[in-house]
Amino acid sequence: MGAHRPSAEFPAHLDALYRGFPVERSLAMDPLSCVRPFADDRRAAEVAGILAATLAVGNTRAILRSFGLLSARLDGDFPAFVEGAGRPESNGQLKEFRHRWLRGEQFEYLGYRLHELYASYGSLEELFLEGMAGPDGFAGGIAALAEGLRGPAGAPAPTRYRYLFPSPLRPSRSPCKRLALFARWMVRPEYPDLGLWKRVPASELRIPLDHHVFWIAYHLGLTARRTPSWAAVEEITAALRAVDPNDPVKYDFVLCHTGISGDCPKHRDLAICGRCAVRPDCRLWRGRRAS
């Protein structure tokens, strides 16, 4: 049996899924909902966005709850948090904060790294563009952002802090889901994203590859790879770019929340799958009737 490929009608099917998706229902359960209140203040949105994206581990309810706790400890003033974080050592402001394996001292050090970066760059977009201008393009932008947030290799940092910011150019070739997600929020001008970065084209974005998006993309034939990686990110994005060259990542929110919401049960269930616009393209239904 050959490799699974989506049908010739896939672009129309995907567009139907996109146009019919209840965005507001899912936005309330997305970390982006934590960042949108700062849409009129780029510095606040960048800081809130980095914090929210870093927290994007585990189920969405826990992520939203943890962001709320983090915001409360910082009095909701994210620029002030960064402005006051001029020392690498922890000041204990977030001492008791926990989110899964993430710890408050890691976020305090992240505040320090942002403080240092903003001393050199007016916006994280400038750092991103600096990396993107090199031979690796968008991956270079993600790498520059990751390396800036990680800080100098020899400098002391909290335990496992640097693991939070992988680079697609390092040997692991990580899919870098959280930084790709942050970039999507900042770049895409269409709702629900913020469009605060004006110099990075939406056409250059790459898919933020969480496990829901990867599972659905694999079963739609957008990649044949069996594990998430930067190579899978490039393959899936290329397949989506063939549908919309100017805004391939616009489908990310819908694909992600199709999985989160249970609209995709990840097994054959006619009661749910029967109404799915992309069911004809899914490998679970290949050669099977809907009846």
Are 108 and 146 members of one domain?
yes
At residue 36, the pLDDT reads 98
The string of pLDDT tens digits covering residues 25-61 is 999 999 999 999 999 999 999 999 999 999 999 999 9
Domain boundary among 204, 219, 241: 204
Task: Answer whether residue 6 shows pLDDT above 90.
Answer: no
Report the candidate in 211, 212, 224 with the shortest Cα–Cα distance to residue 4.
Answer: 224
Are 102 and 131 members of one domain?
yes
At residue 3, the pLDDT reads 79
Are 237 and 181 members of one domain?
no
The string of pLDDT tens digits covering residues 172-227 is 999 999 999 999 999 999 999 999 999 999 999 999 999 999 999 999 999 999 99
Are 37 and 170 members of one domain?
yes
Domain boundary among 184, 204, 224: 204
The distance between the two most distant Cα atoms of the chain, rounded to a whole number of Å, is 64
What residues form DSSP beta bridges with 99? Answer: 102
Are 198 and 85 members of one domain?
yes
Measured from the Cβ of residue 83, the count of other Cβ atoms closer than 10 Å reads 14
d(CA 252, CA 18): 10
SS3 232: helix
Are 150 and 288 members of one domain?
no
- Say which CATH number the domain at 279 has: 1.10.1670.10
How, if at all, do strands 98-99 and 102-103 pair?
Answer: antiparallel
Cβ-based neighbours of 24, under 8 Å, separated by 6 or more: none
Return mean pLDDT, the chain: 95
Tokens read off for 277 = 């616009």
At residue 130, the pLDDT reads 98
Domain boundary among 161, 183, 204: 204
Q: Where are the beta strands (DSSP E) in the chain?
A: 98-99, 102-103
At residue 4, the pLDDT reads 87
Tally of domains in the chain: 2
Are 8 and 56 members of one domain?
no
What residues form DSSP beta bridges with 98? Answer: 103
Are 154 and 69 members of one domain?
yes
Task: Answer whether residue 291 shows pLDDT above 60.
Answer: no
Domain range for 135: 31-204
Are 120 and 193 members of one domain?
yes
Are 49 and 170 members of one domain?
yes
Are 98 and 171 members of one domain?
yes
Are 162 and 197 members of one domain?
yes
pTM of the entire predicted model: 0.96
Q: At 1, is the pLDDT very low, low, confident or very high (cuts 50, 70, 90)?
A: very low
Measured from the Cβ of residue 199, the count of other Cβ atoms closer than 10 Å reads 11
Tokens read off for 89 = 């050592």
Cβ-based neighbours of 45, under 8 Å, separated by 6 or more: 35, 38, 39, 186, 194, 196
Task: Answer whether residue 117 shows pLDDT above 50.
Answer: yes
